[in-house]
A and B are shown apart, each in its own frame.
Chain A
Amino acid sequence: MQQRSSTGGGGGGGGGLQSPRSPSSQPPYLSISVTDPAKMGNGVQAYISYKVITKTNFPEYQGPEKIVIRRYNDFVWLRDRLFEKYKGIFIPPLPEKSTVEKFRFSAEFIEMRRQALDTFVNRIALHHELQQSEDLRTFLQADEQTMERARSQDTGIFKRKPSDLMQIFRDVQSKVSDVVLGKEKPVEETNPEYEKLKRYIFELEDHLAEAQKHAYRLVKRHRELGQSLADFGKAIKLLGACEGDALGTAFSELGAKSEMLSIKLQKEAHHLLMNFEEPLKDYVRAVQSIKGTIAERANAFRQQVELVETIKLKEIDLNKYRLTRSEKTLEAEHEYEELKADSEEATKRFENIVRLMNEEIVRFQEQKTQDMGLAFHEFAKGQARLANGIADAWRSLLPKLETLSSS
């Protein structure tokens, strides 16, 4: 049950950081923490800012420690940039933007978000390729003004994610070429293994979403049971006050125990939320991120295929021009060479994505086994702790009841 196979590439799990230019005196490290959420601004404009503390000995970074202030949208920017630049790699997921206004500043929500953001940046820092990203350096070190500028540049007038914009552009492009090439159907890979993987990812998301839903409900149930016990305890204490004598004391003791257990239940509910439900949600997000990568791969494939087709047509034209010794020949040759270069690049890009994805999927599976293993452990530990607490509390009451009942 506890095999931890370290097959495949990438720095899965802890350690294993690789930075080609780091000094050999000390193993390279890049460790980040996201802390101290603070509410900034007022009213509708209000938001939460976080302290991002970077500790590293990477030569590209300024000094061993750096602290900057960042907000959620900065993290979004970073993610989008990485998604653009590192196609084929599964970019770590971000926590969702909150939709419910009143929930936005609740302590629990903020804490969950902080934890998720911390996990996000650290996963980037641990990924052998992503950790070298220039955008990451900007994010971790730039002052707030620079950061804000960078952020507003990329979001553009439409306030869309860059990947969204590119996607639209590509869609239009491909539609045009479809018409030109007389194709209506989208072009897709015919790779059975890859098909299997795609199906797996899509189905996995459904299963995980369901598990996460029930995990969230379980948190709620703990809270409800806790509340019930508190109310019950209070009521039975009042009853005890009415009764008086031994019976009254018994009721009071029982009521007190109930109230104590109610607190334990609330604590466990919180623990469950942070250490079991949140990892499950994180898993769902990760799968959604992979779907993004799948889309990127499809795009890359399409581009490659379209270029090949375009080149073929260009060749026909070129030969035509050559035969007729047209003035357009030179221009056509030039274009032809360009297209060939583009095609080579497109092919390389696509193949790169394929290669990366193959590595990434292995890393992903390993990481998830690790993450879920820990989540299960915390879940079981929490439940055991709660159950033991309950058992102890009630058991300690029994001898007292015994004494009281015989008095």
Chain B
Amino acid sequence: MMAYENQGFEDAQIYASREEMESLVLDDNNNNNGNNGNNESNPNSVRSNGGGGGANGGDGVQSQPYNHPLSAPLPFAEIPTTDDDDPLLSSSSPKKSPNSFNSFLEPPSYAEAVFRSFDGDHGKQVNGHGGVSTSSPSSSSEYLKISVTDPHKEQDLNNSLVPGGNAYMTYLVTTWTNLPEFNGTEFSVRRRFKDVVTLSDRLADSYRGFFIPLRPDKSVVEGQVMQKQEFVEQRRMALEKYLRKLAAHPVIRRSEELRLFLQVQGKLPLVKTTDVASRMLDGAAKLPKQLFGESVVSAAVDPNDVSQPAKGGRDLLRIFKELRQSVTNDWGGTKPPVDFEQELSNVSQQAESLVKAQQDIGETLGQLGLAFVKLTKFESEEAMFNSQKVRAGDMKNVATSAVKASRLYRELNAQTVRHLDKLHEYLGVMLAVNNAYADRSNALLTVQTLLSELSTLNARVEKLEAAASKIFGVTVREYERIKENNKNELERLDQERHDDFFGMLKGFVANQAGYAEKMASVWETVANETSGYAKNS
């Protein structure tokens, strides 16, 4: 970063000859510079230039450079804690003084203190929630790190009705972990997108009431597009991000489903569940033992209490009333307002416009700079008068400053995108929240349905009472557990959101301030150098 810092500023000044000035190609030069922020992320920059930039060679080769930063320097990289990743957020911690922001004008410390980017791309985030996350595991020495690499085309020979068969992409899913549930610390399996869908569905079944991260979209595209590098790369990134989010979730990371997905070689040993209806009515029968015996979910409801009341018809009605009452209370208290999602979406949109506007102004400044560079060259080439030489000199200063400012805008934007990306992420989270609530309402519906059916069947009350006590108890228990999951999740999410958003805000604001100061200094120099003209007029 330091090297770049000086280079970026010195570059334009060293350009004494007009040829060099003219070859100030902003695009390539700048992209590489802009992403060479950290030593580690050098290989990254090739890839992060978009599909065109570094995506040469075959499938396997493309992802190789990406792999290295992860494995080479930090083989068992830890999930970053608050201190590690973003110095902007740790300004309250002792090692960063609040006055570090005043050192903006000194390039080295300035760059170090403020612009150490989020370690290259978002893709490098170990837990998908970015720099600050309090969802790190209970003990900081536990980690579960996943990477998705090496997309590879394979043939589905079993179902081939067409010669050539159905081709599909598989990805290498590599896990590093020290969690006890896993046998081993490092292992890889090959999975295809369909497997991820299955995993996601099974998790949704098993963890109703939890805010499960949304899986990447199934894209409905043609077979050929599926194999296009850009699409493949996008999908790889999305899968990685998704798996990392799962790994970050305190409950899901310990799920059997995830473990099977990550560890079991060959065919994925999870059965795809398409039966939604059964979820509704047979909820009790299909409950995995986690919901019953899970230690993480505190059983606020004593199972015995719930199953007791099924002594007689009158009691059923009473319990029904009580349940209904409690649910009404629940909904009023903890359901997030719909407004929030709307506003969030709106902010997300505006954030995109802001980024575009920043990009545009940077571009135009660059073009203006180049136009003046050409003018300078022209005026000085065969200057007939001294006044022309003077003017050419003035123009050159303005030109180089405009080019510098243009580069600064570019960098600013790259950072802004990262900060404001949080908003987009949170849109995804909000949808997950809504799904969890949907689960809850489904469960409640089940309960209510059963109760209403039971209450009308007078003749078979006794028999049904016996049955009901089992089903009813189980179903109520299930509902209560889901509710509890909701509550815990909501609290967890609230705290996370609180931290994340503050991180985003502080980062965004510090970024804007920092770059603005840099730009001010650039222009102040030119203003001083040309101040003589002002006195004359």
Contacts and interface: CB of A to CB of B under 8 A. Distances in A.
Interface of A: 1-5, 7, 13-14, 196-197, 200, 203-204, 207-208, 210-211, 213-215, 217-218, 221-222, 224-225, 227-229, 231-232, 234-236, 238-239, 241-243, 246-247, 250-251, 254, 361-362, 365-366, 368-370, 372-374, 376-381, 383-384, 387-388, 390-391, 394-395, 397-399, 401-402, 404-406
Given A369-B387, A394-B513, A218 B530 contact: no
Nearest to B337: A242
Contacts of A365: 384-385, 387-388, 391
Could you tell me the dominant secondary structure of chain B's interface residues? helix
Interface stretch (B34-42, B251-259, B295-303, B344-352): B344-352
A388 B388 contact: no
A235 B350 contact: yes
18 contacts: A7-B386, A225-B361, A228-B353, A234-B350, A239-B346, A246-B498, A365-B385, A370-B537, A376-B394, A376-B530, A383-B405, A387-B520, A391-B517, A398-B509, A399-B98, A401-B505, A402-B92, A405-B506
Most buried by A among B92, B364, B531: B364
Nearest to A401: B506
B413 to A, nearest CB: 11
A3 B386 CA distance: 9
> 5 closest A-B pairs (Cβ-Cβ)?
A373-B533, A387-B520, A394-B513, A377-B530, A380-B526
Most buried by B among A7, A203, A214, A236: A214
Contact of B398 (A13, A376, A391): A376
Contacts of A215: 368
A228 B350 contact: yes
B343 A239 contact: yes
Contact of B527 (A225, A251, A384): A384
B354 interface: yes
A377 B92 contact: no
Given A221-B357, A242-B337, A211 B375 contact: yes
B354 A232 contact: yes
Given A376-B533, A401-B506, A208 B375 contact: yes
Given A369-B388, A376-B395, 4 more contacts: A228-B356, A366-B387, A377-B531, A383-B519
A215 B367 CA distance: 9
A369 B516 CA distance: 30
Nearest to B393: A1
B365 interface: yes
B533 A370 contact: yes
B264 interface: no
Contacts of A231: 350, 353-354
A5 B386 contact: yes
Contact of B506 (A13, A232, A391, A398): A398
Interface of B: 91-92, 98, 101, 104, 337, 339-340, 343-344, 346-347, 349-351, 353-354, 356-358, 360-361, 364-365, 367-368, 371-372, 374-375, 378, 382, 384-388, 390-391, 393-395, 397-398, 401, 405, 497-499, 501-502, 505-506, 508-510, 512-514, 516-517, 519-520, 523-524, 526-527, 529-534, 536-537
B24 to A, nearest CB: 15
A241 B523 CA distance: 38
Contact of B354 (A229, A246, A368): A229
B333 to A, nearest CB: 14
Nearest to B513: A394
Most buried by A among B344, B368, B397: B368
Contacts of A405: 499, 502, 506
Contacts of A210: 371, 374
Contact of A211 (B337, B365, B372): B372
Contacts of B524: 380, 384
Contact of B536 (A14, A208, A378, A383): A14
B536 A221 contact: no
Contact of A398 (B104, B347, B510): B510
A373 to B, nearest CB: 4
Contacts of B372: 211
A314 to B, nearest CB: 40
Contacts of B387: 5, 362, 365-366, 368-369
Nearest to A245: B498
B18 to A, nearest CB: 13
Contact of A380 (B364, B385, B508, B530): B530
A372 B343 CA distance: 47
B350 A221 contact: no
Contacts of B534: 374, 377-378
A196 B384 CA distance: 10
Given A222-B361, A384-B523, A247 B375 contact: no
A13 B535 CA distance: 12
A225 B416 CA distance: 14
A175 B160 CA distance: 84
A406 B93 CA distance: 12
Contacts of A383: 405, 519, 523
Nearest to B339: A242
Contact of A228 (B354, B393, B505): B354
Contact of A218 (B343, B365, B512): B365
A395 B104 CA distance: 11
Given A217-B364, A394-B513, A401-B505, A374 B91 contact: no
B506 A228 contact: no
A377 B533 contact: yes
A236 B347 contact: yes
A254 to B, nearest CB: 6
B523 A387 contact: yes
Contact of A250 (B361, B502, B520): B502
